[in-house]
Amino acid sequence: MSCSCCVPGQKTCLHLHGVFPYIYVPYDGCGLQPERYMRQVAFSIDRALNVAMGNPAASTQHIFKVVLVSGMPFYGYHAKEKHFMKIYLYNPKIVK
């Protein structure tokens, strides 16, 4: 059954504002203050992506923000929640 409002083969463009793709990365802290550590991670990812895209001198920002969250890891048994960095990116093409 198809929707009466949709025409087969017709394309549309949707702009959602304030919604960013994200990834989770385990947080270990490395003995630094969380805010400082997350800023360094964001800077390092931006730099690595600029290098990978063939423009190491670019100052393009790919990371929107990094926040500290806690939750159960996806795999295996865990008795308690772990800390993760939720890394928001500007461009969904970067999340693979």
3-state secondary structure the chain: CCCCCCCCCCCCCCCCCCCCCEEEEECCCCCCCHHHHHHHHHHHHHHHHHHHCCCCCCCCCCEEEEEEEEECCCCCCCCCCEEEEEEEECCHHHCC
Determine the pLDDT at residue 96.
65
Question: pLDDT digit of tens for each residue in the chain (96 aa)?
Answer: 555 666 678 888 888 888 899 999 999 877 779 999 999 999 999 999 999 999 999 999 999 999 999 999 989 999 999 999 999 999 888 776
Give this prediction's pTM. Answer: 0.77
